[in-house]
Amino acid sequence: IMKDLVLPTVDGMAKRGCPFTGVLFAGIMVVDGKPMLLEHNVRFGDPECEALMLRYQGDLVEVLMRAADGELDKLDDDQVSGPNAWNSGTAMTVVLAANGYPGSYAKGTRIAGLSEAEQTTPPDGCVKIFHAGTSEGAAPGEFAANGGRVLAVTAMRDNVRDAAASAYEAVGKVQWDD
């Protein structure tokens, strides 16, 4: 995937005088056993990022600082792509979106139960809720919806089936009327 899909993009940008430094996500779909590139993305706000961040075990701040300073070559491969940098588990993200998204949607709807949802942690994994379109709610521990993609409930387990089951179990504990 790197050789056939990602590196040609990075090399092409450099040849055009626009070298890329940062985090480049590749949206890939496998069709008939062959990976196909759908899109590139450079933002940390998309659901793909939450699943990756849960699996990354390296020092993200150091990697980003080195990238900003043009010093990625000073990082050990193990800090970025080696077996110690990534958890071998499978991460799955379920996005909770406001009713009506991507069109018009209500803001300010109450969200509660996030602490309970995050405690859905199985012995062989974890659950993490990432906030995307939220603001503080009226009571401590409560939040209000303030965007289209509101929460990303992400679970990590040994396989896709168990990760999905844990993510949806946590979603079931979120109290949100929207």
**Which of the pair, 145 or 122, is modelled with greater confidence?**
145
Q: Which of 30-34, 40-44, 152-156, 167-171 has the lowest mean pLDDT?
A: 40-44
Tens of pLDDT, residue by residue over 37-64, are 998 888 776 777 888 888 988 888 988 8
CA dist 121 → 8, 126, 156, 160 (Å):
40, 5, 9, 15
> Residue 122 in contact with residue 162, Cβ under 8 Å?
yes
6-15, 21-30, 34-43: which has the highest mean pLDDT? 6-15
21-25, 57-61, 90-94: which has the highest mean pLDDT? 90-94
Q: What is the pLDDT at residue 45?
A: 64
* Whether the predicted pLDDT of 19 surpasses 90: no
Which string of DSSP letters, residue by residue, matches the chain? -IIIIIHHHHHHHHHTT----S--EEEEEEETTEEEEEEEE--SSSHHHHHHHHHB-S-HHHHHHHHHTT-GGGS-HHHHTSTTTB-SSEEEEEEEE-TTTTS------EEE-HHHHHT---TT-EEEEEESSEEE-SSTT-EEE-SSEEEEEEEEESSHHHHHHHHHHHHTT-EE--
